[in-house]
Structure 1
């Protein structure tokens, strides 16, 4: 009962704090949540014992998994150098340099204890900074750097802290053993996280392949993943659960629109559920932090041998020290990294402000607090842990100083207090015109449509509307959206012909296979022509022919049953990805360049030959193949050629923004057409509600992807 009461109390405090934060918008919610916890501890005498193991499992694991999952993968790769530098080397340097300075400030503190204190203060917590970022224009690059390093430095900081505590307790420290242990728990933890998420991803994709598309079930699986991975990593393999969940989050199937295996409903429900879970967990972490701070300070305040104001002064100096170390590291790194043809520029006002902002943004938070609370009471021999009370006090106060410093100083450095504007929330659905010709035709009948018929009619009307607007007839954005709608109609037709089909997403009908076979044969002809003219190497020819043969076996012949085919394909894609990673460092650069040149030549020639054949089929009498299907295949090869020839703009932010706007506009057309069918009595209210729900899901997914 005590646990239930504690949960209700903490959630109530969180709700009150978040309500208050809406009235004090200039103050980060994290500070208000901490204040709520402090008030509860002081005036309501609330005391909750925080156990490090369950806290890490219940809070840190899902938060870090979600951060890794949502972190922009492209930005993570671009910033891999500074992220690794800040997350590992900066943590080690801060521990060593800071430990020496702390020893000088507090001579009575043992060396191991001094290093322990700085190690526990090394991990940064970007949660508060992200709330500040909504009020100040922190550069995107800096926010990505802070978020990326926080995924890793929790592990490196906690490992350094672990060895500091062990050295203090036992009085023995072995650099060799510490290094080997560090590498083991970090790399094996990363390997386990990668393997575990590979298994979970395969399970989820297999369920979708088998038609198990229950959004609640998939959401529960997704929420369970970080807890299972962290628990097994820590308790079974005795490696870093933090590293495991971070790697799993990064490699998890993300929620962007490229993941077409999952329906809009699954992606929306999963995303919104994660939003709610992380919202609650983040808030509870800071409320608990506030509850623990007074009790962490209580012993020091009542200790006559330690001056409280001096301890506060030491905490302030240590926070300044951490900011300065972080600033110097960032300045030196950016100075070397931005080396130009004119040489190294020693001083730059812009770089100075950026690095100073980076130093102040290194906010300490929940991980620091829960780690310092795990410091044992005694050491080997039964004596008290040296200056444990002082360590708790300093860690708690540094957390407060870092939060306050970021709150007041970052807006000054950015010279802006305006909220950041995010895209994708304003829609205009007023510019719709109905297709009167088709409406008049529909009025001639009173037959009510079922959901399948209504859905198909709405999609067809939307396609016609988009084609009318596509006056250029070659706008790649319009063509892409139209192709997607045509493929959706094609899938509806196949499902209508075969309602017992297991897979609801990746429908492969007989006509698809026939058209793929035609295209693959065209690609083979192009490969043979290139090889006969000695325009490609033997290796490039063999690999290209083998690849086409594999595709024909998988898509056209279907030799395996669906389950075996799925797992073979999933395993093969994994093996190919690993081969690329393993072979790349051992391949000569000239060979790679030549092979890539030949592969590009093969792909362009094959795509062009297949596209010419599709144009020929489009102009000829081809009753056996639907026009819509040919159009879809044409768009596939046109986009492939654009990508191969460097004309593809699909990955630019501008293209994605325009595409999202058109997708939302097309959904507004669908919504209007559904309402029109309902008013005409062509569909029932229940059918209209089902269609509207699907439209709303799709629209929400687009908005989530934009944000």
Structure 2
């Protein structure tokens, strides 16, 4: 019963703090949540025993998984150098340099204990700085760097802390064992996370392939993933669960890749559920932190050997030291890493401000606190752990100082006064009214002419007609892209009538949906083969490139014509095959880049020539009005080859910010047309009120997903 009461109380404090934060927008919600915890501990005598293992499992694992999942993958790769530098090298430097400085400040402190204190303060916490980021308008690049390093430095910081504690307790330290252990638990932890998320991704895709598209079910699977992965990594393989969940989050299938496999409803429900979970977990972490601070101070006040005022000044100096170390490291790193022309510029005012902001943005938080609380009470022989009370107080005070410092100084550096936004409540704008009218007394009893599927098909067809009429007045490429997606939807609806599996919105040589598809692919492949032969005859490609291209096309033709797999066997066969090819391609490109340069150039020539030949043939079929191929099917194939051609020729507008913006605006416009058509059918008595509401709800789901992608 005490656990239930504690949970209710903590959630109540979280709600109160977040309500207050809406009236005091200049104060980050994290600080108000800490204050709520402090008040609860002082006046309500609330005490929560925080165990390191369950805290990391229950709070840190899902939060880091979500951060990894939402982290921009392109930015992560682009900033891999500074992220790894901050997450590993900076943590080690901070521990070593900071440990020496702390020993200088407190000569009576054992060396191992001094290093332990700085190690526990090394990991940064993006959860805290996120609430400051919107108000302060921290540059995106810096925010990506802080978030990226926090995904990794928890592991490096905790490992340094672990060996600092071990050295204090046992009196012995082995640099060799620590180094080996660091690489073992990190690398194996990453492998465990990658393998497990690969398995779960396959399971989720298979469920979708089999028609299991329950949005609540998929949201629950998503939520439970980090807990399972963390537990398996820590308790079964005895490696870093933190690293495992971070890698799993980065490789999770819902991180923009293959996202078209999931319906808008699944994406929306999963995202909203994660919003709720992260919102609550973030808040609870800081409320718990606030609850622990008074008890740390109480122990210090009652300790006659330590002066409370001096300990507070000491914590402030240590925070300044951490900011300075981070600033100096950032300035040196950026000075020598941004010299593309071989010219080193020592002084730069802009770089000075950026590095100063980076130093102050290194806010400490939950991991620091839970690590400090896990410091053992005694060492070998039964003696008390040296200065444990001081360490706990300093860790708590540094967390508060770092939050206050970032709150006060960063807005001054950025000269921004925008209102504070808290992760979870600014995910997107409020959802439109979904027109869910549950009044059964007003149920329309007019005979129904269309079912929901028939009405949906009619709405899509009318929308396509409307968009085609407008195409001449807009950007043809944008309209073609949106129209193609609606054609995919219509075509897939026809397939669903005879197949319960969920169909994706992609045309692919590995996803043949019928005899007409296979015949049209066969025609296109013949065109591609002709193009290869022509290039080879003209000596435009090498013998190896010719052999590889002809074998690949022949293989695709064989798979399409002689497709005899069971659907389950085919799914897992393709899933394993794609994974193997991706790994092989990555390894091959890493170790034999020069060897494949010529083949890559030939491959691009072959693909361009093949796409042009196929488009010529498709245009010929379209103009001759072949009855065996519908206009929509030819149109879809044309869009497929046109997109390929644009990508290969370096003019892929789908990746242009302007194209994406125009396309998004047209998608929203098309959804407004759909709403109007639904209303027309309802007024004409062609659909029931319930069917109209279902159609509107699906339209709203799609619109929410578009808004979600914008955010």
Q: 1:365 to 1:247 in 2, by over 3 A?
A: same
* Per-residue CA distance 1:112-153 (angstroms, 9 max, x = gap): 000000000000011121111111221110000011000000
CA–CA distance in 2 between the matches of 1:545 and 1:342? Answer: 45
* Per-residue CA distance 1:442-468 (angstroms, 9 max, x = gap): xxx997111111111100111111112
Q: 1:609 to 1:174 in 2, by over 3 A?
A: same
CA–CA distance in 1 between the matches of 2:9 and 2:358? Answer: 36
* Per-residue CA distance 1:30-62 (angstroms, 9 max, x = gap): 000000000000000000000110000000000
1:590-669 correspondence to structure 2 within 5 Å:
591-669=595-673
CA–CA distance in 2 between the matches of 1:232 and 1:639? Answer: 42
Which residue of the partner structure matches residue 66 of structure 1?
A: 66
Which secondary structure state, in structure 2, belongs to the residue aligned with residue 705 of structure 1?
helix
The question of whether the paired residues in 2 share the 8 Å contact of 1:319 and 1:398 is answered with yes
Which residue of the partner structure matches residue 553 of structure 2?
A: 548
Q: 1:626 to 1:246 in 2, by over 3 A?
A: same
Which residue of the partner structure matches residue 502 of structure 1?
A: 501
Which secondary structure state, in structure 2, belongs to the residue aligned with residue 135 of structure 1?
helix
CA drift at 1:254: 2.5
Which residue of the partner structure matches residue 533 of structure 1?
A: 538
The question of whether the paired residues in 1 share the 8 Å contact of 2:522 and 2:557 is answered with yes
CA–CA distance in 2 between the matches of 1:398 and 1:342? Answer: 39
Which secondary structure state, in structure 1, belongs to the residue aligned with residue 47 of structure 2?
coil
CA drift at 1:192: 0.6
CA–CA distance in 2 between the matches of 1:392 and 1:300? Answer: 9
Which residue of the partner structure matches residue 417 of structure 1?
A: 417
Q: Does 1:561 align with 2:562?
A: no
The question of whether the paired residues in 1 share the 8 Å contact of 2:128 and 2:364 is answered with no
CA–CA distance in 2 between the matches of 1:372 and 1:512? Answer: 62
5+ unaligned residues in a row in structure 1: which ranges? Answer: 430-444
CA–CA distance in 1 between the matches of 2:328 and 2:579? Answer: 42
Which residue of the partner structure matches residue 696 of structure 2?
A: 692
Q: 1:255 to 1:385 in 2, by over 3 A?
A: same
CA–CA distance in 2 between the matches of 1:423 and 1:117? Answer: 36
The question of whether the paired residues in 2 share the 8 Å contact of 1:255 and 1:271 is answered with no
CA–CA distance in 2 between the matches of 1:620 and 1:115? Answer: 79
TM-score normalised by the chain length of structure 1: 0.95
Which residue of the partner structure matches residue 185 of structure 2?
A: 185
Which residue of the partner structure matches residue 451 of structure 2?
A: 450
CA–CA distance in 1 between the matches of 2:709 and 2:383? Answer: 56
CA–CA distance in 1 between the matches of 2:257 and 2:229? Answer: 26
Which residue of the partner structure matches residue 681 of structure 1?
A: 685
Which secondary structure state, in structure 2, belongs to the residue aligned with residue 378 of structure 1?
coil
CA drift at 1:554: 3.7
CA drift at 1:419: 4.4
CA–CA distance in 2 between the matches of 1:674 and 1:588? Answer: 55
Which residue of the partner structure matches residue 701 of structure 1?
A: 705
Which residue of the partner structure matches residue 438 of structure 1?
A: none
Which residue of the partner structure matches residue 265 of structure 2?
A: 265
Which secondary structure state, in structure 1, belongs to the residue aligned with residue 347 of structure 2?
coil
CA–CA distance in 2 between the matches of 1:626 and 1:687? Answer: 29
Q: 1:473 to 1:24 in 2, by over 3 A?
A: closer
5+ unaligned residues in a row in structure 2: which ranges? Answer: 434-445, 506-510
CA–CA distance in 2 between the matches of 1:492 and 1:628? Answer: 13
Q: Which moved more, 1:523-532 or 1:172-181?
A: 523-532
CA–CA distance in 2 between the matches of 1:17 and 1:513? Answer: 61
Q: 1:107 to 1:423 in 2, by over 3 A?
A: closer
Which residue of the partner structure matches residue 466 of structure 2?
A: 465
* Per-residue CA distance 1:596-638 (angstroms, 9 max, x = gap): 1100001001111111110011001311111011111101101
The question of whether the paired residues in 2 share the 8 Å contact of 1:378 and 1:384 is answered with yes
Q: Which moved more, 1:694-703 or 1:64-73?
A: 694-703
Q: Over the residues paired in the alignment, what is the CA RMSD in angstroms? A: 1.9
CA–CA distance in 1 between the matches of 2:474 and 2:517? Answer: 25
Which secondary structure state, in structure 2, belongs to the residue aligned with residue 141 of structure 1?
helix
CA–CA distance in 1 between the matches of 2:560 and 2:56? Answer: 46
Q: Does 1:579 align with 2:578?
A: no
CA–CA distance in 2 between the matches of 1:461 and 1:89? Answer: 59
* Per-residue CA distance 1:576-612 (angstroms, 9 max, x = gap): 11112222233152x3221111000010011111111
CA–CA distance in 1 between the matches of 2:555 and 2:159? Answer: 47
CA drift at 1:515: 1.4
CA–CA distance in 2 between the matches of 1:126 and 1:447? Answer: 54
1:55-134 correspondence to structure 2 within 5 Å:
55-134=55-134
CA–CA distance in 1 between the matches of 2:705 and 2:51? Answer: 38
1:518-529 correspondence to structure 2 within 5 Å:
518-529=523-534
CA drift at 1:341: 3.2
CA–CA distance in 2 between the matches of 1:346 and 1:26? Answer: 36
* Per-residue CA distance 1:11-45 (angstroms, 9 max, x = gap): 11111111111111111000000000000000000
Which residue of the partner structure matches residue 480 of structure 2?
A: 479
* Per-residue CA distance 1:146-170 (angstroms, 9 max, x = gap): 1100000001100110010011101
The question of whether the paired residues in 2 share the 8 Å contact of 1:256 and 1:705 is answered with no
CA drift at 1:370: 0.3
The question of whether the paired residues in 1 share the 8 Å contact of 2:432 and 2:700 is answered with no
Aligned pairs, number: 689
Q: 1:338 to 1:228 in 2, by over 3 A?
A: same
Q: Which moved more, 1:268-277 or 1:507-516?
A: 507-516
The question of whether the paired residues in 1 share the 8 Å contact of 2:185 and 2:238 is answered with yes
CA–CA distance in 2 between the matches of 1:342 and 1:179? Answer: 33
CA–CA distance in 2 between the matches of 1:253 and 1:363? Answer: 30
CA–CA distance in 1 between the matches of 2:384 and 2:583? Answer: 51
The question of whether the paired residues in 2 share the 8 Å contact of 1:205 and 1:261 is answered with yes
CA–CA distance in 2 between the matches of 1:424 and 1:217? Answer: 23
CA–CA distance in 2 between the matches of 1:477 and 1:427? Answer: 26
Which secondary structure state, in structure 1, belongs to the residue aligned with residue 135 of structure 2?
coil
The question of whether the paired residues in 2 share the 8 Å contact of 1:30 and 1:286 is answered with yes
Q: 1:473 to 1:313 in 2, by over 3 A?
A: closer
The question of whether the paired residues in 1 share the 8 Å contact of 2:427 and 2:708 is answered with no
The question of whether the paired residues in 1 share the 8 Å contact of 2:529 and 2:610 is answered with yes
CA–CA distance in 2 between the matches of 1:390 and 1:420? Answer: 33
Which residue of the partner structure matches residue 518 of structure 2?
A: 513
Q: Does 1:230 align with 2:222?
A: no
CA–CA distance in 1 between the matches of 2:658 and 2:276? Answer: 30
Which residue of the partner structure matches residue 443 of structure 2?
A: none
1:2-81 correspondence to structure 2 within 5 Å:
2-81=2-81
The question of whether the paired residues in 1 share the 8 Å contact of 2:25 and 2:419 is answered with no
CA–CA distance in 2 between the matches of 1:409 and 1:556? Answer: 67
CA–CA distance in 1 between the matches of 2:562 and 2:630? Answer: 21
Q: 1:257 to 1:381 in 2, by over 3 A?
A: closer
Q: 1:428 to 1:160 in 2, by over 3 A?
A: closer
The question of whether the paired residues in 1 share the 8 Å contact of 2:132 and 2:420 is answered with no
Which residue of the partner structure matches residue 332 of structure 1?
A: 332
CA drift at 1:546: 2.4
Which secondary structure state, in structure 2, belongs to the residue aligned with residue 470 of structure 1?
helix
TM-score normalised by the chain length of structure 2: 0.94
Which residue of the partner structure matches residue 370 of structure 1?
A: 370
The question of whether the paired residues in 1 share the 8 Å contact of 2:518 and 2:560 is answered with yes
Q: 1:419 to 1:659 in 2, by over 3 A?
A: farther
Which residue of the partner structure matches residue 435 of structure 1?
A: none
CA–CA distance in 1 between the matches of 2:494 and 2:212? Answer: 20
1:41-440 correspondence to structure 2 within 5 Å:
41-256=41-256, 259-341=259-341, 343-419=343-419, 425=429
Q: 1:420 to 1:343 in 2, by over 3 A?
A: farther
CA drift at 1:300: 0.5
The question of whether the paired residues in 2 share the 8 Å contact of 1:231 and 1:241 is answered with yes
CA–CA distance in 2 between the matches of 1:4 and 1:542? Answer: 68
